[in-house]
Amino acid sequence: MSTHPDTPIALITGGSRGLGRNAALALAAKGNDVILTYRSRRDEADAAVAEIAARGRRALALPLDVADSTGFDAFAAQVREALRRHWQREQFDYLLNNAGIGIHAGYADTTPAQFDELVNIHFKGPFFLTQKLLPLIRDGGRILNVSSGLARFALPGYAAYASMKGAMEVLTRYQAREMGTRGIAVNIIAPGAIETDFGGGAVRDNAQLNAFIASQTALGRVGLPDDIGDAIAQLLAPESRWINAQRIEVSGGMFL
């Protein structure tokens, strides 16, 4: 498959499933090529790559554990080699720090092991991964981080998870300030409750929880993956170039 040298390339962590996969497909539909990462399920990653290819765009899957920052140098080298081999390019355009997990535990019951897992995946990981990838992001490119509505409103059981997302919101502003010298815009998107397998699929599969969230959402329903994927593609579109250092909640108006 041939690719025009000006075709934008997006790198999406956790792009083999859930919202990451949806974002990859939405970006491909808008003419972007995609490098996506997966942690263990190569079959899911290959399926996502095949679906992107079926839409006429080039995609590649690379393994990455965002919880293990000792592997980031090797990953950056893989990305550099992939860009040269498959795109004859030195840099990519957009970084989406999407990979994540959900752990539900009350504040009083949260263990140090749970806390460490969340901080490694949701804060330390994207902090240092982005740092390692900066030389590979083109001047004028974009970085989009992922927060959560839970950083604005509080629901019991998410104290640690939401704290990591709050940290990412502060980091986003600092990244935007420091990356501005290269023309790189940095924003953070905050999804509300979405019907996916995230956190065991509770929002999707628990009818009572789904109905409660819908009743507390201005648009009267729970979010769908396309709602987030489309918003991500729009935020990374050329028309959104002047949006910078912003937290954009995409929740349909939860808990207003």
The whole-number pLDDT of residue 131 equals: 98
Lowest mean pLDDT among 64-73, 119-128, 168-177, 201-210: 201-210
CATH number of 9-193+224-249, picked from 3.40.50.300, 3.40.50.720, 3.50.50.60, 3.40.50.620: 3.40.50.720
**Cα–Cα distance between 21 and 15 in angstroms, integer?**
5
Note the pTM of the prediction, 2 decimals: 0.94
Q: Tell me whether residue 158 is one of the annotated catalytic residues.
A: no
SS3 74: helix
Structural domain boundaries in the chain: 9-193+224-249
Of 38, 107, 161, 174, which residue is the catalytic one? 161
| Percent of the chain residues past pLDDT 90, beyond the cut | 86
* Closest by Cα among 256, 253, 175, 176 to 219: 253
The whole-number pLDDT of residue 208 equals: 84
Q: Which residues of 36-63 are buried (b: 16+ CB within 10 A; e: fewer)?
A: bbbbeeeebbeebbeebeeeebbbbbbe
